[in-house]
Structure 1
């Protein structure tokens, strides 16, 4: 259980922050960048939920919870120490990736194949989901960069990769099942 009695601690005033294992690192550390961007993504998902209803809203709620799991995973270095930890660290599970894939497959069955790239937009929800897609891609790039420097849970990178695909397909679904997608017309304004 998390208990936050005091929001400010002043411990970060020198430009450092604590990781999940208590180590202090610079606030621009690659690990902090990765989990900070997943937190940013979670905020954009919250904005998208203002436009979502029904199953889309329920799915976005699950994704928000997953993104907190992802942040908990990424903020905890030294996976080798997991087995000796007093409290086992929360790590993203492959089942969370599998769930995204299954949801993508279900959504995609009702969409016509794309014959052009699409421009971000259409409905308000689709536009918000495209923002989520691009922030998920940035979070993925930062997680990959972190993985080049330190060991991280491979499911974290896979999750972010699938999540950006999920947002793309969900945006199409939010555009009247893809019928109102805004198509790119190469060189249209030459």
Structure 2
């Protein structure tokens, strides 16, 4: 006997958090972990691009695993003690910083704002960056209403910086010139 994908329990705009609490599908918590899920999906698309080297793809996989952990934490009602949830700690935040520092050190100094684009992989990094920023904002909105572990916010903040650096790294790797923002220029 297979489990049905649809339960019809959400037909009236409600869903359940891990722990059983029913909330509106427009709840800040649902918005936050939905954004995490969207970001995770875009990272999967980026990771699956044939021009992404396996060594960087493994970083994307690591990020996806941690985002899944963040999603499960955010999908859990406050105070739920049914089982031990994964954690995001200073270790995960520092790992992203290590990658940012490594790739930043390999790139020319940035002297102007740059426009997204030039190569599909570069553009996908920018999509991940912007979805990550939206995700971070939604988690901060949630943190204004409920206590959220500060490491989650730090992780998301570093992650958007990581994708900016990765966009630049891939532009360099694929020898795609970065397009500076030139307001008022034709």
Q: Mark yes or no: TM-score above 0.5.
A: yes
2:111 pairs with 1:103: no
2:156 pairs with 1:160: yes
The 4+ residue runs of structure 1 with deviation greater than 6 A are none
Task: Please list the CA deviations of residues 11-60 of structure 1 after superposition, one character each: whole Å capped at 9, or x if unmatched.
Answer: 11111111122111000000000000010011111111232222221111
Matched ranges for 1:2-151 at <5 A: 5-51=3-49, 52-78=52-78, 81=79, 85-151=81-147
Unaligned runs of 5+ in 1: none
Distance in 2 between the 1:90 and 1:176 partners?
A: 36
Q: CA deviation at 1:179?
A: 6.2
Distance in 1 between the 2:88 and 2:19 partners?
A: 17
Report the secondary structure of 1:175's partner residue: helix
Report the secondary structure of 1:9's partner residue: coil
Provide the aligned C-alpha RMSD in A. 1.6
Report the secondary structure of 2:15's partner residue: strand
Tell me the TM-score normalised to structure 1 length.
0.90
Report the secondary structure of 2:98's partner residue: helix
Distance in 2 between the 1:166 and 1:42 partners?
A: 14
Please tell me whether the aligned partners of residues 72 and 91 of structure 1 are also in contact (alpha carbons under 8 angstroms): no
Aligned residues: 182
Please tell me whether the aligned partners of residues 76 and 89 of structure 1 are also in contact (alpha carbons under 8 angstroms): no
Task: Please list the CA deviations of residues 127-155 of structure 1 after superposition, one character each: whole Å capped at 9, or x if unmatched.
Answer: 00000000000000000000001111111
Q: CA deviation at 1:89?
A: 2.2
Distance in 2 between the 1:165 and 1:56 partners?
A: 16
Tell me the TM-score normalised to structure 2 length.
0.92
